[in-house]
Structure formats: C-alpha cells, structure tokens
C-alpha cells in the first residue's frame, strides 16, 4: 500500500507535478435489498494529497463500483449532504483532505451513527429534522415594520456563530447521548434554537427555552464536546448549549453568556 | 459489532404538563452537591485514610470517637444524603441513556429503593448512634466510655 | 472575532489516524468524550461502593465486633489496594466534576475544556502521589 | 385517467395538489411561502431543501435601499441592463430593481440576519457592475450577511416553510411533466417523480406547476456549481418541445479557486481585493480604468483569460492569475469574508491573509433557460403563455440578466420572481380546474428507468460525463470560435449516441443514485447541445458569449433573444435536424444600447 508514483499530470491544483498515492479505503457497505448486516469492503484508489475523501468516493463509484451510495452536492462544505464517519470521526467527506489523513493506514469510512442506516453511507435524516422542527426554528415576531427591524451590530454578533449551521447532522450523530437515546433533541436542534433565542428581534425565546427545558432537552447534554469537534462550520456547539442552559436557569434569554458566578452577566 | 445501528423513534412532542421540572433542578443539584461533596469527601478521606495510621486506625472505637462529636455527625449525615442523592440521580441519568421501556422502569425503581433505604438506614445509624453500647466488649469501645478498658 | 479562524474545520488541524480494529464502530472522540466516559465509570463505581460502605458502616449499630470484623477486611493488602483504586476514582470524578462545573458556569470554560482536562489529570496525579505512598506505608508497614 | 389523491395504481402513487413546485432552492421555497398559505401546495425536491445550491451563494443580494449612500432603483435598472450588454428585457429589469427593496425587507422580516450598519440598518457593500448615477462610480448596493448571504437566504426561507408547514417531498426527482391535449393545445397536468428512497414512481396532478430547479453548470468541468446542478427542469421542458431562451449565455465567474472551480465571491473585490498577473501588475486598470476590478464578470473573466493567453499568468504553468487580499488585513477577511478565507486555506493550502490566491474563471451561472414573462408564466413561443405552468430562478429566463448577470442579481431574481411565481400560481389554481391526466401518465418515466436498469450496454456514465465536461471546458468556455464549437458539436453528437449504450451497475431500487446519475447525464447532454448550437448561431460577442471570430457586438443583427425548439428526432445525427432556432425581440423601455465601457 501507499506505493508512491510520480504522475505527470497535476491534480489540477497549481504547483506542478505532485505525487499520487494508492490509498485504501475500507467502507462499511449495506444494501438493504440483499444484506442482512452491514459489512466492510476494501477499495484501492489513486489519489493526490490535495484530493478529498469525496473525490475518493467518487472515483470508486465512477470507476469501480457504481452501487456505492452516498449523498453529496456542493462538494465544498456548504450544503451539509455528506457527513460521514471517517476514521472514526464525523466529517464532511468534501472537506476532509487526503493529506490530513494518515494514508499509511487504510481509511475507514462509514455512515454516521444514531440515525437509521438506509444504504451504505446514507441514513434516514427524518428524525434529525423532526427535532429541528420541534424547536420552532423561525423568527417569531408580532410587529409588522415597514422597513427593516433595527438591530445593532453587537446584537447581531451575539448569535452569529449559530447562524452558520448547515444542518449536516455531524454534531448530533457524534453525540454519545444521542446514540443511545434518539429521543434527545441533539446539539443541532439546540444550536438552531440558540440562533433564535438570542436574536434581539425574536419574541418566542421563552417558548423555545421551555421546549429545551424538557426531559429530552439541554439537560441531557453531558458536555462531551464530540459535537463541537465534529462541526464542519466550526460552530462552538457546546458553548451554545451552555448558553441555552444558562438562559433557562436565568429564566430569560438576556445576553448569551454562561457566566453565572464567575463574571457578572453581560460583562 | 456488525449489527445495524438501531433505528431511533422520532422525537415525541414535549408533554405539556407543567410539573416541577426535575431535569433542571437535578442538573443544578449535581453541581451544587458536587462542590460540597468535594469538601466533605476529601475531608472524610483525609481524616480516615491519610492522618494517623490511615485505614489501620479505623475500628469501632475510631468511628465512635468521631461520632461522639456533633461536628462529625453533621458532616457524615450531610455527606450521606448529598452523596446518595447525587449518585442516585447520576445513576438515573445513566439508566435513562441506555435503557428503555420496562427495564428502564425496573432499574430506576431499584436505584430509588436502594438510595431511599440507605438514606434511612444511614441516618438512623448516625443520629441514634450510641458510642458506648452497653454489654459490648470493653476493649473495643472508645476510651471516653465509662466501660472502656482502654 | 479573529479567534474564529483557528477553530474552523477541525479536519485541518491534526492528522486523524484510522481505528485499530476493523469493526471500527468505536467513535474516536477526544478529551471531552473520554473524560465523560471516565466520569461515568467512576461515578457508577463510587455509587456501588457507597452502597456497600453505608451498609458496612451501619454495622456499628449491630455491635462493635460485627463492625470491626468487617472493617478489618479493609485493612488487608488486597482491599488496601482496592482503596487506592477507590480514591483514584473519587479523585478523578471529583476533579473532573469541578471541570464540568467550570465549563458550565464560566463563559470561556468550553473553549479551554481540553486544557482543563489535562489540568485535571495533572492534579489527579499530584493527589495520588500524595496518597498512594502513604496508603502503601499504612497497609504494608503498619502505620506511621 | 381518474384517481383519488393518495391512490396507488399498478405500483404508481398518485397525488393531487393545487400547486406543485419542483425544486426547493431559493426560488422554489420563496414561491412555496406565497402559495402554501393560499393553496394546497407540494414542493418536490431532489435534495433536502437546505442542500440546495442557493446556499452556496456568498456575496450578497442587490437592492437600492440607500442605507449607506445615495442610490435608487432606476440606477439599479440601468446597471442591470448595461451589465447584461443590453440584451435585458427592460420591463423585467425595472420590476426586478423596484421590487428588490421589498424583497430584501421581506427577508429581513422573515428573520434573515443581515450584517448591520452602525445605526442598526441593513449594511450594504460594493459589487461588480453596480454603480451610482449610470456608471459614475461604484455604489454600495449589495445587502449581505458576511459571505454567507445565500446560506442565510436558504435557511431563512426553509425556516419559514417550516413555520407554514409546507409539504415537502424530499429526495424526489422530478423526471417528466405530463402534458394533456385540451382543445388541441398542450396543457401541463402533472409531474412524474422518482422517489430516491424506494425507487417508486409518483404522479403529482396539479392545477399549477412551478419549475425552480436551478442551473446546469455541470455541463462544464470547472464550475462553481454543485454536482446536482444538472438542469433537470430545463431538460424536462426542452423534451416537451417547449422553447429555451438565450442558452448560449453562460456566465464564467472570474474568481474560482484555480483548478477546482470553488467560488471566491466578488464581494472580496467589493471589499477591495485586487487581481494581479504574474508580475504583480493590477491588469484590470488597463482594461476598465474607471471601475477596474469591479467591472462585470464577463469582462474580467475575458481579461484574465487574455492575460494567461499572453503569457502573463502566474504559477509554474503560468495558467492562473492571483487574487490579492493581503492588504485587507486579517480582521476584514475573518469578519466579512470568513468562508472564502477558509476555502482557500482548506482546498489550496493558501492563506489569503498573507498570500495572494490563485484564481481562474469558473462556469457559474446560466443566463438562459425556460422563457417566462414577468408574471413567471412559461412561454411556448415568443408570447404565448402555457396556462398553469410557471418557472422561476436560475432555470428560468425572464430575461433580467440578458447576456451577462450582474453579481447579486440572482439572489434577487429568485426572491422577486419566486414570489411572483408562487402568488400567480396560487391565484391561478384557485380559478382553474385540474387538467385531466392521460392514461398511463408515468409511462415515459417507467420506461426510462426500466431501460436503464435492464440495459447491459458497455458505456459507463462517468466516462461520458467527463468527456462532455472536458470538451465543454476546452471549446465552449470563455472564448469560443465557430471551429471550437463545431468540435464540441461533434463530440456531443458522439456522446449522445454512446449514451444509448450506457449501463448502470446498481440494479437495486433503494437509493439508486447510479441510476439517477445516468438520467441526469441525459439532461446534461441535451442541454449542452442546445448551448453549443445556440452559441454557434450567434455570430457576435456579447456578455458571457465571447466569439474570437466575431469579437464585437452586432446590434443590427443580434439585438434579440435566441429561442431554441426541439423539433425533430432528438437523436438525429445533425443537431440542425432536430433543433430549430428562432428569435425573440428584446424589450427596450428607457435605455438605448450603447457601447459598454467601464
Ligand atoms: C458559488 C455560487 C455563488 C453565488 N453567489 C451569488 C451571489 O453572491 N449573489 C447572487 O445574486 N447570486 C449568486 N449566485 C447565483 C445564485 O445563487 C443562484 O443562481 C440561485 O441561488 C439559484 O437558485 P434557484 O432557486 O434557482 O436554484 P437552486 O438553489 O440551485 O435550487 C434548485 C432546486 O431544484 C431542485 N431540483 C433540481 N432538479 C430537480 C429535479 N429533477 N426534481 C426535483 N427537484 C429538483 C433541487 O433539489 C434544488 O432544491 C451564486 C451561485 C453560486 C454557484
Ligand atoms: C467528590 C465530589 C463530586 C463531584 C465534584 C461530583 C461532580 C459531579 C458532576 C458535576 C456530575 C454531573 C456530570 C454531568 O452532568 O455531566 C456528576 C455526575 C455523577 N456523579 Fe458525581 N461528583 C462527586 C461525587 C460523587 C459521588 C460520591 C458519587 C457516587 C455516589 C457520584 C456519582 C455520580 C454519578 C453516578 C454521576 C452521573 C454520571 C453521568 O451522568 O455520566 N459522584 N458528578
Ligand atoms: S451545528 Fe455544525 S455539525 Fe451540527 S448540524 Fe450544524 S453545521 Fe452540522
Ligand atoms: S456531543 Fe452531546 S453530550 Fe453535549 S457537548 Fe455535544 S451535545
Ligand atoms: S457535498 Fe456539500 S457539504 Fe459536502
């Protein structure tokens, strides 16, 4: 494995001829129409260090085995289609560069965990979106302004982080609590609730705080940080969850801060 | 290892009954009791296992000696309650994570029963403690007992 | 805001190595997840110990003999070592519990959770370094 | 045939809705928000809504709010017309610019978190081709949310669809529209869709149908478009003999990451980034002395290709130019352009804070598409409306973009015309009856699917697609000549023949993406043929269509829209045997064509 061959043509990336490697991918396959259980299958592909795992999957699908099934669309980390477990961690295949993996070893690829496996790398996303819908992820405001609502730069900044979510489910399906009990709302739903709870224009924060104060809500989070490490958008997920917890304890959204004792609120 | 990850039931909508929210208070309790327990447990461990001859010094007389003082009685009662409820609530969390349906109910019941019984038992032991039980072997009693042979 | 860059795309930060077992279904979490696993295991262990410990302590009500005979078991080398494990577990659980509390109630706690974990491990080693030699002395050499 | 809503007949599912929207990108969901509350509406989408490519849009959405400096919609109209090299229908452009203001405010009221000015109003930034007072100087007109404007629009629209309880059919691929002859005229009666999860076929009978299926950038290799942008909607319409307008005009965005095509927003140049050649020269000063790096995309792309062709390209192969952001500072890059900064870091390993980023033009946007009027009604010729059929967004051609779309005008387009389509379709559905569905409405799709499943041909999809895309990149990209286009024509012809012999490996029913890629390739081949055929016919250079052999604009001959019709056997050897071209006049209200100088 990993024999090195200098290939004339570059991978299209500037910088002249670069080395291609043979990379072994071991993919957890499952075809509901024939398999009773998932199984692992090996594929060898020629890759450039600058290629992404998605390119490797495409190469397999297009050149070796057309039945390999996965979701993908944008190919640059903004649509959230291709969250999968790569070497044991949730990643977007299109944002995971081969050079960032240890290619002296095979690369393990499998579906994200905790959602029903449908086929190969595809899981049923419905339970995930179900939790998302449950937290009322939309602006609740009664006024009808003629122009835009006024919001200061600072007010806009406090919920900036959580507006970046692309609903890829990498976080929720990395959460140990979610694996064992899918009833937990999961980090993605909380992130999207956070986005509205701390939006100065929103009037529904209390409702959402109540929803998340539920048995399956924020209190189930055990601060394992898998979600924060998995998020391809770099959202500080656990921090957002902490801020929601603190808001519930305070009894009002206020400014997002989890400081209850150590620094004065809003400082 | 080879089985498919079990399908998840979709989230069931929030039950809208306005009971006391145990989850929130449970969560807070874990933290508050945790901080107190650090002091209580480490104090306990320090006195019992570190000072003097460590675990070797612990016997009836040692315990009785400690509990003769209301300070240690309060200390240990507090520790008992806080720790059992803390641990019990922690176990509840864990059971909720891994068990479902009937097994979950049974296990929760067991934990609750264990915690309740031990709190009662432990409190009785402590509060109604007699450091100098009559008829006991005098050599085992603490030195301040009239019957003590120490 | 400028601190946002470094965090983005965890994929770029470190080389991710493949799992050892071909089953590979173990999630490769990091400090946060492992600290939680340890916290949970130690919590359960302490809970069961506590159950036993309350029961054996309750024997003081029965009679001094009964109590002493049970408590003497704690003084055997085997349970003496067990006690080390117990203190190690409580120490880890307690220190990590404090870490969790910091993460919860201190706004920059989440950002430093990994560092906090290693501080916990550091303090834990210090704790054990203080306790273990003394305990060994007590159980094997009969006290001070 | 007759059926009840929800019936399953011979394994085919039948549904009835007042309005069926195909596509859940910005245009589709904006339409759903209008139609949903008024009529029984279904949205059929081959991707989960939030996966749509609207989410990739970065820079902003134009509207003359005048929040930060003097501006008005009339200037915006002018810029749109001039930017489109005067091939814009000016009545439509007026509507676009006028309704832009409400479109942005609507989004804000729905919750979109725009960046704010110090006074708390929506902030605005500069963008290519947008000027004050008819070209005097760049103006700050683009409303934005960092470099994630499209993401925020898509999320906000989806959130509001959740609020309204819009009925989504996720991962359903529309593959055919059923036309029924009524009084000698073809009327749309239903959409036939393939359910990815099960492989089952669904017929959606509807009173009104809206197409909002987005673009077809995947006819090219280097593109900012998603893998799923295969022009299915446009292809479906084309196969029914309805016309396609201005297909030769494809926009190449100047700043795609070299070799990859991933887009770096024009907003970067809006914030002050500069294009440089190998020697560090700011070459746009030579070509567009007034607005330099903020000239419209067609012009900049062309200049970049020229710089490279004349040997001034950077890099070991001298095959790209550089986008220099280093003087903007880390603060601006990380707060206003965080995503593209990360793209450059992740995919090229280049840090824009310290190093200029290698860029080259990338296939970006289809100006052409399904012709509609300003009410978003689809046309079956220059002015006949197809009752009950609507189109909006990138798949449609209103035409507000003419031969070259201005940056930020598309997010605007999807909102303005998406809204109009939704409203008009809902209104229409309230007065109209269902058009009866003919017998066996799913016949075509069933046949298509079975034939691909059963085929044991020797051709592989990926190989054909790669050849098509590479050939299009080589010969139908920024510069075209009759000779290069003739070459692509030939290639496409061969590929279309080979396509009949294609086979798939996945013969299963559940989640058969292999099968769908094969069908998508069919659409790509059809559309590429129309693009090239239309391009060959337009012997002038205008906007996104640059002919080396006819380097100037020819208003006398070509100041009109191309209308392409499928008129013969689609597989006949010569494209001319099955494609007929016609012309459609450009609507001119205020602005007479002038030479386009910046
Ligand atoms: C990288 C990038 C950056 C851009 N930046 C800007 C910008 O800054 N400003 C600007 O104004 N414009 C920008 N644009 C252009 C603009 O984003 C797009 O033109 C616009 O978003 C298209 O929206 P849409 O709703 O028409 O299509 P899309 O958002 O592409 O949605 C298409 C929908 O159709 C569905 N669909 C497709 N085929 C089928 C089928 N067969 N069956 C069922 N459903 C189907 C898909 O599932 C999807 O939901 C950018 C484009 C790109 C690619
Ligand atoms: C010494 C001081 C202690 C501290 C500071 C402490 C702290 C904590 C905290 C903060 C939690 C909550 C963790 C979370 O929400 O993720 C917790 C959980 C727990 N604690 Fe303690 N604790 C201590 C002692 C104990 C004792 C004595 C027991 C046993 C009786 C115990 C058993 C548990 C259990 C079972 C859990 C649940 C673990 C889980 O959910 O994963 N703890 N502890
Ligand atoms: S929070 Fe991050 S990981 Fe979770 S769904 Fe959103 S983008 Fe994905
Ligand atoms: S992984 Fe789960 S436990 Fe909390 S910190 Fe993240 S939600
Ligand atoms: S393909 Fe869109 S996020 Fe990876």
Residue A18 pLDDT: 67
* Rounded Cα distance, A200 and D362, in Å: 39
Q: Stretch D312-333: mean pLDDT, rounded?
A: 94
Q: Does residue C46 surpass a pLDDT of 60?
A: yes
Task: Label residue C26 by pLDDT band (50, 70, 90).
Answer: confident
Q: Stretch D203-210: mean pLDDT, rounded?
A: 98
Please indicate, yes or no, if residue B145 is contained in any of the structural domains.
no
Q: Which ligand is nearest to the CA of C46?
A: 2
What is the atom index within ligand 2 of the atom nearest the CA of B35?
Answer: 5
Q: Is D376 helix (H, G, I), strand (E, B) or coil?
A: coil
How far, in whole angstroms, is CA A90 from its chain's centroid? 7
Q: Which of A34, A76, A118 sits opposite D343 (nearest CB)?
A: A76
* Rounded Cα distance, B36 and D447, in Å: 73
CATH for B66 = 1.20.1300.10
Residue A195's contacts (CB-CB under 8 Å, 6 or more residues apart) are: A137, A159, A162, A163, A165
Tens-place pLDDT, residues D517-540: 999 999 999 999 999 999 999 999
Work out the mean pLDDT of chain B and round it to a whole number. 84
Determine how many CB atoms are found less than 10 A away from the CB of residue A9: 9
Q: Is A227 close to ligand 4, i.e. is its CB under 6 Å away?
A: yes
Domains, chain C, with CATH or none: 30-141 (1.20.1300.10)
Determine how many CB atoms are found less than 10 A away from the CB of residue A261: 8
Please indicate, yes or no, if residue B90 is contained in any of the structural domains.
yes
* Rounded Cα distance, D394 and D225, in Å: 12
Q: Does residue B10 surpass a pLDDT of 60?
A: no
A219 CB within 8 Å of a chain B CB: yes
Please indicate, yes or no, if residue B124 is contained in any of the structural domains.
yes
Q: Which of A26, A40, A100 sits opposite C11 (nearest CB)?
A: A100
* Rounded Cα distance, D93 and D61, in Å: 15
Question: The tokens of D591 are what?
Answer: 């602005």
CB-based contact B125 C144, cutoff 8 Å: no
Please indicate, yes or no, if residue B1 is contained in any of the structural domains.
no
Higher-confidence position of A143 and D421: D421
Task: Label residue B6 by pLDDT band (50, 70, 90).
Answer: very low
* Rounded Cα distance, D392 and D251, in Å: 18
CB-based contact C16 A85, cutoff 8 Å: no
* Residue in the structure block whose two tokens are 């620094």: A263
* Residue in the structure block whose two tokens are 């550091």: C122
DSSP calls for chain A? ---EEE-SS--SSSSS--EEEEEEEEEEE--TTT-SS-EEEEEEEEE-TT-BHHHHHHHIIIII-TT-----SSSSSSS---EEEETTEEEEGGG-BGGGB-TTSPEEEEPPSSS-EEETTEE--HHHHHHHHHT--S-------SSPPP--HHHHHTTHHHHT-----TTGGG-HHHHH-TTS--HHHHHHHHHHHT-TT-S-HHHHHHHHTSTTSGGG-----HHHHH-TT---HHHHHHHHHHHHHHTS--SS---SSSS-TT-
First to last CA, chain C: 57
Question: The tokens of B13 are what?
Answer: 């909508």
Q: Which of A88, A222, A230 sits opposite C24 (nearest CB)?
A: A88
Q: What is the ipTM of this complex?
A: 0.92
Q: Stretch D451-473: mean pLDDT, rounded?
A: 94
Residue A60 pLDDT: 97
* Residues of chain D found within 8 Å of residue A66, distances taken between Cβ atoms: 460-461, 504-506, 514
For chain C, how long is the longest CA-to-CA vector?
68
Please indicate, yes or no, if residue B2 is contained in any of the structural domains.
no
Q: Does residue D221 surpass a pLDDT of 60?
A: yes
Residue A256 pLDDT: 75
- The catalytic residue positions of D are 297
Question: The tokens of A44 are what?
Answer: 């060898």
C142 CB within 8 Å of a chain D CB: no
The β-bridge partners of B47 are none
D351 CB within 8 Å of a chain C CB: no
CB-based contact A79 D122, cutoff 8 Å: no
* Rounded Cα distance, A17 and D14, in Å: 55
What is the atom index within ligand 1 of the atom nearest the CA of D217?
Answer: 53
* Residues of chain A found within 8 Å of residue C112, distances taken between Cβ atoms: none
Q: Is A77 close to ligand 5, i.e. is its CB under 6 Å away?
A: yes
CB-based contact D111 A202, cutoff 8 Å: yes
Residue C128 pLDDT: 94
Work out the mean pLDDT of chain D and round it to a whole number. 95
Residue B64 pLDDT: 87
Q: Of A114, A101, A82, give the one whose Cα is nearest residue A180.
A: A114
Asked whether the beta carbons of D19 and D42 are under 8 A apart, the reply is yes
Residue C53 pLDDT: 92
Asked whether the beta carbons of D308 and D320 are under 8 A apart, the reply is yes
Please indicate, yes or no, if residue B59 is contained in any of the structural domains.
yes
Residue D531 pLDDT: 97
* Residue in the structure block whose two tokens are 């510069």: D479
Burial D561-582 (b: 16+ CB within 10 A, else e): bbbbbbeeebeeeebeebbebe
Determine how many CB atoms are found less than 10 A away from the CB of residue D454: 10
* Rounded Cα distance, D160 and D37, in Å: 11
Q: Does residue B51 surpass a pLDDT of 70?
A: yes
Q: How far does the centroid of ligand 4 lie from the alpha carbon of residue A230, in Å?
A: 11
* Residues of chain D found within 8 Å of residue A167, distances taken between Cβ atoms: 48, 50
* Rounded Cα distance, A233 and D354, in Å: 22
Q: How would you class B17 by CB atoms within 10 Å of its CB: exposed for 0-12, middle for 13-18, buried for 19 or more?
A: exposed
Q: Of D418, D419, D423, D416, give the one whose Cα is nearest residue D98.
A: D416
Q: Is A73 close to ligand 5, i.e. is its CB under 6 Å away?
A: yes
* Residues of chain A found within 8 Å of residue C11, distances taken between Cβ atoms: 91-92, 95-97, 100, 232
Q: How far does the centroid of ligand 3 lie from the alpha carbon of residue A189, in Å?
A: 9
Question: Cis peptide before D590, with omega less than 30 degrees from 0?
Answer: no
First to last CA, chain A: 56
Mean pLDDT comparison of B6-15, B69-78, D383-392, highest-scoring range: D383-392
Please indicate, yes or no, if residue B147 is contained in any of the structural domains.
no
Mean pLDDT comparison of C55-59, D344-348, D365-369, highest-scoring range: D365-369
CA distances from C61 to B115, B129, B133, C56, D360 (A): 19, 7, 9, 10, 86
Residue D113's contacts (CB-CB under 8 Å, 6 or more residues apart) are: A156, A159, A160, A163, A199, D145, D152
* Residues of chain C found within 8 Å of residue D346, distances taken between Cβ atoms: 9, 11-12
How many CB pairs lie under 8 A apart between chains A and D? Answer: 177
Q: Is D441 helix (H, G, I), strand (E, B) or coil?
A: coil
Asked whether the beta carbons of D339 and D345 are under 8 A apart, the reply is no
pLDDT in tens, chain A (267 residues): 333 343 333 344 444 456 788 999 999 999 999 988 899 999 999 998 889 999 999 999 999 999 999 999 999 999 999 999 999 999 999 999 998 998 889 999 999 999 999 999 999 999 999 999 999 999 999 888 889 999 999 999 999 999 999 999 999 999 999 999 888 999 999 999 999 999 999 999 999 999 999 888 999 999 999 999 999 999 999 999 999 999 999 887 777 776 654 444 443
Task: Label residue B20 by pLDDT band (50, 70, 90).
Answer: low
Residue B74 pLDDT: 93
Q: Which chains touch B (3 or more CB pairs under 8 A)?
A: A, C
Q: Does residue D63 surpass a pLDDT of 60?
A: yes
C2 CB within 8 Å of a chain A CB: no
D346 CB within 8 Å of a chain C CB: yes
Residue C15 pLDDT: 55
* Rounded Cα distance, A229 and A227, in Å: 5
Please indicate, yes or no, if residue B4 is contained in any of the structural domains.
no
Which residues of D335-384 form beta strands (DSSP E)?
357-366, 370-371, 377-379
D68 CB within 8 Å of a chain A CB: no
- Overall number of domains in chain B: 1
Domain of B110, in residue numbers:
24-140
CB-based contact B56 C142, cutoff 8 Å: yes
H, E, C per residue of chain C:
CCCHHHHCCHHHCCCECCCCCCCCCCCCCCHHHHHHHHHHHHHHHHHHHHHHHHHHHHHHHHCHHHHHHHHHHCCCHHHHHHHHHHHHHHHHHHHHHHHHHHHHHCCCCHHHHHHHHHHHHHHHHHHHHHHHHHHHHHHHHCCC
Task: Label residue B143 by pLDDT band (50, 70, 90).
Answer: confident
């Amino acid at each position: 494995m990993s024999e090195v061959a200098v290939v004339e043509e570059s991978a299209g990336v500037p910088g002249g001829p670069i080395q291609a490697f043979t990379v072994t991918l071991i993919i957890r396959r499952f075809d509901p129409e024939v398999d009773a259980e998932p199984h692992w299958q090996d594929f060898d592909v020629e890759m450039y260090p600058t290629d992404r795992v998605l390119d490797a999957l495409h190469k397999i699908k297009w050149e070796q085995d057309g039945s390999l099934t996965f979701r993908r669309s944008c190919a640059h980390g903004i649509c959230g289609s291709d969250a999968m477990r790569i070497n044991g961690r949730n990643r977007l295949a299109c944002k995971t560069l081969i050079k960032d993996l240890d290619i002296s070893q095979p690369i393990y690829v499998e579906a994200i965990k905790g959602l029903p496996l449908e086929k190969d790398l595809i899981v049923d996303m419905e339970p995930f979106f179900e939790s998302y819908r449950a937290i009322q992820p939309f602006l609740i405001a009664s006024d009808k302004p003629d122009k835009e609502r006024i919001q200061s730069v600072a007010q806009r900044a406090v919920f900036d982080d959580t507006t970046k979510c692309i609903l890829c489910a990498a976080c929720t399906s990395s959460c140990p609590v979610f694996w064992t009990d899918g009833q937990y709302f999961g980090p993605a739903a909380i992130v999207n609730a956070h986005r509205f709870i701390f939006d100065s224009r929103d009037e529904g924060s209390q409702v959402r705080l109540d929803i998340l104060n539920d048995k399956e809500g924020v209190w189930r989070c055990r601060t394992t940080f898998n979600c924060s490490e998995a998020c391809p958008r770099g959202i500080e997920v656990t921090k957002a969850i902490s801020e929601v917890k603190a808001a519930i304890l305070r009894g009002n959204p206020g400014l997002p801060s989890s400081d209850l004792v150590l620094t004065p609120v809003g400082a | 290892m080879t089985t498919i990850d079990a399908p998840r039931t979709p989230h069931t909508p929030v039950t809208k009954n306005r009971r006391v929210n145990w989850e929130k208070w449970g969560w807070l309790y874990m933290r508050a009791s945790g901080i107190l327990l650090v002091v209580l447990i480490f104090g306990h461990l320090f006195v019992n296992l570190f000072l003097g001859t460590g675990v070797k010094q612990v016997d009836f007389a040692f315990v009785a000696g400690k509990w003769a003082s209301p300070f240690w009685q309060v200390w240990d009662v507090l520790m008992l309650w806080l720790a059992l409820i803390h641990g019990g609530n922690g176990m509840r969390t864990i059971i909720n994570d891994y068990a479902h349906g009937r097994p979950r109910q049974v296990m929760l019941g067991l934990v609750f029963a264990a915690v309740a019984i031990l709190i009662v038992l432990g409190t009785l032991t402590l509060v109604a403690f007699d450091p100098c039980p009559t008829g006991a072997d005098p050599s085992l009693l603490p030195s301040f007992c009239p019957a003590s042979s120490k | 805001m400028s601190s946002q860059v470094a965090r983005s795309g965890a994929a770029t930060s470190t080389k991710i190595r493949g799992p050892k077992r071909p089953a590979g279904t173990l999630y490769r979490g990091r400090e946060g997840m492992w600290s939680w696993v340890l916290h949970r295991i130690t919590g359960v262990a302490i809970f069961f110990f506590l159950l036993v410990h309350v029961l054996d302590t309750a024997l003081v009500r029965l009679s001094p003999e009964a109590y002493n005979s049970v408590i003497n078991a704690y003084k055997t080398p085997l349970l003496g070592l067990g006690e080390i494990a117990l203190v190690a577990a409580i120490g880890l659980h307690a220190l990590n519990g404090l870490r969790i509390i910091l993460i919860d109630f201190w706004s920059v706690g989440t950002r430093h959770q990994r560092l906090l974990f290693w501080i916990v491990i550091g303090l834990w080693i210090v704790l054990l370094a203080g306790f273990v030699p003394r305990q060994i002395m007590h159980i094997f050499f009969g006290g001070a | 045939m007759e059926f009840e809503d929800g019936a399953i007949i011979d394994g085919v599912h039948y549904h009835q809705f007042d309005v069926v929207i195909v596509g859940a990108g910005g245009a589709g969901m904006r339409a759903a928000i209008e139609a949903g509350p008024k009529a029984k509406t279904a949205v059929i989408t081959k991707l989960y809504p939030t996966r749509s490519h609207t989410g990739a849009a970065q820079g902003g959405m134009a509207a003359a709010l005048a929040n930060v400096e003097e501006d008005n919609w009339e200037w915006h109209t002018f810029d749109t017309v001039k930017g489109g090299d005067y091939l814009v229908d000016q009545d439509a452009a007026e509507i676009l610019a006028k309704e832009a203001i409400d479109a942005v405010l609507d989004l804000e009221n729905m919750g979109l978190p725009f960046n704010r000015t110090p006074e708390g109003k929506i902030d605005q930034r500069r963008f290519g081709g947008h000027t004050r007072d008819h070209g005097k100087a760049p103006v700050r007109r683009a409303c934005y949310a960092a470099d994630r404007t499209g993401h925020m629009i898509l999320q906000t629209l989806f959130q509001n669809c959740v609020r309204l309880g819009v009925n989504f059919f996720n991962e359903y691929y529309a593959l055919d529209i059923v036309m029924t002859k009524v009084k000698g005229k073809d009327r749309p009666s239903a959409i036939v869709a393939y359910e990815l999860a099960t492989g089952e076929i669904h017929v959606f009978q509807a009173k009104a149908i809206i197409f909002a299926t987005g673009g077809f950038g995947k006819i090219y290799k280097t593109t900012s478009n998603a893998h799923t942008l295969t022009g299915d909607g446009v292809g479906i319409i084309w196969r029914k003999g309805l016309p396609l307008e201005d297909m030769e005009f494809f926009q190449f965005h100047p700043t795609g990451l070299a070799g990859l095509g991933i887009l770096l927003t024009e907003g970067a140049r809006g914030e002050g980034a500069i294009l440089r050649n190998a020697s560090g020269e700011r070459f746009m000063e030579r070509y567009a002395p007034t607005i330099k790096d903020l000239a419209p995309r067609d012009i900049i792309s062309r200049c970049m290709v020229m710089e490279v062709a004349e040997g001034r390209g950077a890099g070991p192969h001298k095959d790209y130019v550089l986008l220099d952001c280093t003087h903007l500072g880390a603060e601006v890059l990380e707060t206003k352009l965080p995503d593209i900064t990360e793209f450059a870091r992740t995919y090229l390993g280049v840090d824009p804070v310290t190093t200029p980023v290698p860029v080259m033009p990338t296939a970006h946007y289809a100006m052409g598409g399904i012709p509609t009027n300003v009410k978003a009604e689809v046309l079956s010729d220059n002015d006949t409306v197809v009752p009950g059929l609507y189109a909006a967004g990138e798949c449609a051609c209103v035409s507000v973009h003419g031969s070259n779309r201005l940056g930020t005008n598309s997010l605007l387009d999807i909102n303005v015309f998406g809204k109009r389509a939704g409203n008009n379709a809902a209104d229409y559905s309230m007065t109209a009856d269902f058009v009866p569905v003919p017998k066996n409405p799913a016949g075509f799709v069933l046949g298509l699917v079975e034939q691909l499943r059963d085929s044991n041909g020797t051709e592989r999809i990926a190989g054909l697609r790669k050849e098509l895309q590479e050939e299009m990149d080589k010969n139908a990209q920024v510069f075209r000549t009759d000779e290069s286009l003739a070459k692509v024509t030939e290639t496409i012809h061969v590929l279309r023949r080979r396509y009949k012999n294609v086979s798939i490996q996945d013969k299963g029913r559940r989640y058969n993406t292999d099968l769908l890629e094969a069908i998508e390739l069919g659409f790509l081949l059809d559309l590429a043929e129309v693009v090239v055929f239309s391009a060959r016919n337009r012997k002038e250079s205008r906007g996104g269509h640059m002919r080396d052999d006819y380097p100037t604009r020819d208003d006398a001959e070509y100041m009109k829209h191309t209308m392409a019709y499928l008129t013969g056997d689609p597989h006949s050897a010569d494209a001319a045997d099955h494609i007929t071209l016609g012309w459609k006049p450009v609507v001119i209200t205020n602005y007479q064509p002038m030479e386009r100088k910046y």
